[in-house]
Amino acid sequence: MHRRLSVLVAACLPLAAASLFASTATAQAVPAPRPVAEQRVDPLGSTERTSSEQTAAATTTVRSSATGVPTTTTTTTPRASTIPSTTTPTGSTTNATSATTTSATPTAPETTTTVSSTTPAAESPDLRVTAEFTQPSYDIRDYAYIRLSVTNVGTATATAVTIESTGQSRPSFPPLWRIEPGATVEVKGDVALFVLPGPGPLAVSITLRSDEPDANPSDNTVNLTTIVTQVRADFTGVIYGDANRDGIRQPGEEIAGALVTTTGGRPEGTYSTSTGADGRFAFSDIPAGEYATRVEASGWRFGVHHALVDKGKDPAAEIDGLRPLADVLTVSMRFDEEANRAAELAPLTVKLTNRGSVPVRGVNAKCDSSSNDGSDWGDLNSYEGVTIPPSTTRTLRARTMILAWAPPGSEASVTCDFFVRYTSSDFVRSSATTRVLPGFGTLTGSVMRADSGVSLRCWPPGSVTARCGYPTGPGVPDIKIYLSDSAGKVSARAVTDRLGDFAFPPVMPGPYSIKVVGPWRMTQPDVFSPYNISVGTTRIRIWVVPGPDQPDPDSTPSAPPTTPQRAHRTHPAPSNPTARANGLAHTGADMAWQTGLGLLSVLFGALLVHRVRRSARRDASTRRPKGLAARRTGLG
């Protein structure tokens, strides 16, 4: 009994094991989701799988030798090894007829590997534009305005954004440059309408572009349309000749047959007509706008008349003409001196004579001369001008600058056109000429303290470095400076004012040395000494720093006091040496001088004796007795 049971168990066990093994293999054969494999490319160009599943799987179906039931065995081969692994079903025995052993070699199955890539799409801008005219219609004299809105609905920044347009008149917009993703930019552009040939519809196309490709170019363009209108009006007026130059139209002054030409309007046009017997003209139904009108009539001079023509606003112009100015005005000019120095204002005398019977008002002068700026023409260059009474000559003074570089001995001339205000086309011309003398040079400038201490000497010339350039510092007042010529003689002197400015008097052109006086030193004397002064006025800057005291060439050094000596002649020493040996001192005094003193002493003594004797004689006579005196009188 036990033996039969053992045989039965032994016969059933392989069947049970085979059934269990088949269910297990079936469960393993169901493919599981594979993780996405990443690829890494090494420098040699090979691709390596870096998925968490590091092995290659091969599935093989075999048939059991004991039962004949198909059995699926999965053999997993590691990537780094080619040795197959063997799987033995659970419950197998060592019996050759009942145990099943399956093995899969690497070459038996075929393995398929699928690799998927998830590289993101490239970012790009996407510009979306909308635009509209600010109003449905515009006058042709105005500008049309466009309101433009641009939104970047893309994922990248749009750079170097430009606006392109087409149409009869292209709009003008400010630059956009850069639009970030999600940003909206609004700008306003204008369209010039006066360049259009006439009224009517105006179509404009606007396109936006950037340096980056646009994701959707179809929404980068917008088309606009508006209506351009035009106003037309009338322009009338009268032409007259102002014979008395009073600026007022009087009966009988109208000019018939005058040619009237006007230019203007939008679009611009030129129109002509002639005046009737009453001097009137008319332009009907012309485009509104500003007009410039010119008149031609024999024996008369007209200026340009400007008027604004608009609907319901006829200017009704009154345009006056004047007789040629040369019919009534005589002009003469002359220099006051026959010769004048270069680079100096030369005085002139201008005489204006009115030969007419009415005043000539508002006379101006426009001079085209061989001179520099600085000329002074007085009232002839003023807004009011000069008024000349009838049958009167007015004398005016003016000054004109002679060219600094005019060669000595050459001629300098000045020519002026004299005209009445607003009628510069009708003028009287006059000229004057003078001979050019050698001019002087005037040197001006500033003396400044070189506080920064930088050097003025640069190499190469014109370069500027940290130690090369202009110093900085305030002006130094009350510094005496002077110019000396090549012989060292002082030619000019100057003293700086409170701002450090100076001006030398005019000197002849040539090289001069510039020197300072006092406790100062020029930072770069070789830059200015010698300095070549040319004709005209030149301004320079001088930088100084504290230094040794510089002498003043104008001060005379004081000499020590001396005792004056009397003039004398030198006599030779006496030939007899015994004279000195006898004790007579040799004083060197002049013998003539001693002789003169002796004579003076004798004369003085004689005079003194004479006065004494005379006094004594007078005293004796006063003491004589009276009787003796009477007796002498009687005897006499």
In a domain, 595, yes or no: no
In a domain, 405, yes or no: yes
| Same domain for 332 and 431 | yes
In a domain, 269, yes or no: yes
Is the confidence at residue 15, as pLDDT, over 50? yes
Give me the domain span that covers residue 207: 127-229
Mean pLDDT, to the nearest integer, of 68-76? Answer: 42
| Same domain for 151 and 223 | yes
Question: Given this model, what pLDDT does residue 80 score?
Answer: 41
Question: Given this model, what pLDDT does residue 452 score?
Answer: 60
Whole-model pTM: value is 0.47
pLDDT class of 106 with cuts at 50, 70, 90: very low
| Same domain for 463 and 388 | no
Lowest mean pLDDT segment, chosen from 172-176, 338-342, 411-415, 599-603:
599-603
| Same domain for 236 and 225 | no
Question: Given this model, what pLDDT does residue 586 score?
Answer: 42
State both tokens at 581: 């040996």
Residue-wise pLDDT for 521-551, tens only, equals 887 544 556 888 999 888 998 888 898 999 9
Q: What percent of the chain has pLDDT over 70?
A: 64
Mean pLDDT, to the nearest integer, of 383-397? Answer: 95
Question: Given this model, what pLDDT does residue 164 score?
Answer: 92
Domain boundary among 437, 459, 483: 437
Lowest mean pLDDT segment, chosen from 222-226, 275-279, 412-416, 601-605:
601-605
291: domain CATH number is 2.60.40.10
Question: Given this model, what pLDDT does residue 171 score?
Answer: 92
| Same domain for 217 and 184 | yes
Question: Given this model, what pLDDT does residue 529 score?
Answer: 66
In a domain, 605, yes or no: no
N-to-C CA span, the chain:
246
CA distance 343 to 535: 7
> CA Rg, the chain, in Å?
62
pLDDT class of 108 with cuts at 50, 70, 90: very low
DSSP assignment of 16-33 equals HHHHHHHHHHHHHHSPPP
Q: Give the closest residue to 167 by CA, choosing from 135, 195, 139, 188.
A: 195
Question: Given this model, what pLDDT does residue 364 score?
Answer: 94
Q: What is the mean pLDDT of the chain?
A: 76
pLDDT class of 32 with cuts at 50, 70, 90: very low
Residue-wise pLDDT for 406-461, tens only, equals 999 999 999 999 998 767 778 999 999 999 999 999 999 999 888 765 555 554 54
Mean pLDDT, to the nearest integer, of 229-258? Answer: 92
| Same domain for 349 and 403 | yes
Is the confidence at residue 28, as pLDDT, over 80? no
DSSP 3-state of 624 = coil
Is the confidence at residue 222, as pLDDT, over 60? yes
Residue type, 311: K
| Same domain for 86 and 102 | yes
The answer to whether residues 376 and 399 touch, using CB atoms and an 8 Å cutoff, is: yes
State both tokens at 401: 């600058």
Question: Given this model, what pLDDT does residue 271 score?
Answer: 98
Contacts of 2 (CB under 8 A, 6+ apart): none
Question: Given this model, what pLDDT does residue 523 score?
Answer: 79
Residue recorded with tokens 């006094």: 615
DSSP assignment of 182-236 equals T-EEEEEEEEE-TTSSSSEEEEEEEEEE-SSPPS-GGGSEEEEEEEEE--EEEEE
DSSP 3-state of 170 = coil
CA distance 521 to 548: 7
In a domain, 564, yes or no: no
Q: Please tell me the total count of domains within the chain.
A: 5
Lowest mean pLDDT segment, chosen from 72-86, 516-530, 612-626:
72-86
pLDDT higher for 64 or 403?
A: 403
Domain boundary among 422, 437, 452: 437
Residue-wise pLDDT for 124-168, tens only, equals 999 999 999 999 999 999 999 999 999 999 999 999 999 999 988
In a domain, 576, yes or no: no
| Same domain for 219 and 133 | yes
Mean pLDDT, to the nearest integer, of 102-129? Answer: 60
| Same domain for 277 and 336 | no
| Same domain for 9 and 107 | yes
The answer to whether residues 3 and 50 touch, using CB atoms and an 8 Å cutoff, is: no
Strand-strand pairing, 386-388 and 339-341: unpaired
Question: Given this model, what pLDDT does residue 607 score?
Answer: 73
Mean pLDDT, to the nearest integer, of 620-627? Answer: 50
Is the confidence at residue 335, as pLDDT, over 70? yes
CA distance 67 to 11: 11
Domain boundary among 321, 349, 378: 321
Lowest mean pLDDT segment, chosen from 48-62, 146-160, 300-314, 399-413:
48-62
| Same domain for 338 and 261 | no
In a domain, 105, yes or no: yes
Is the confidence at residue 373, as pLDDT, over 80? no
10-24, 171-185, 587-601: range with highest mean pLDDT: 171-185
Contacts of 434 (CB under 8 A, 6+ apart): 335, 337, 338, 339, 340, 346, 402, 411, 412, 413
The burial of 109, by beta-carbon neighbours within 10 Å (0-12 exposed, 13-18 middle, 19 or more buried), is given as: middle
Question: Given this model, what pLDDT does residue 12 score?
Answer: 53
| Same domain for 267 and 214 | no
In a domain, 634, yes or no: no
Dihedral sign (CA 573, 574, 579, 584): negative
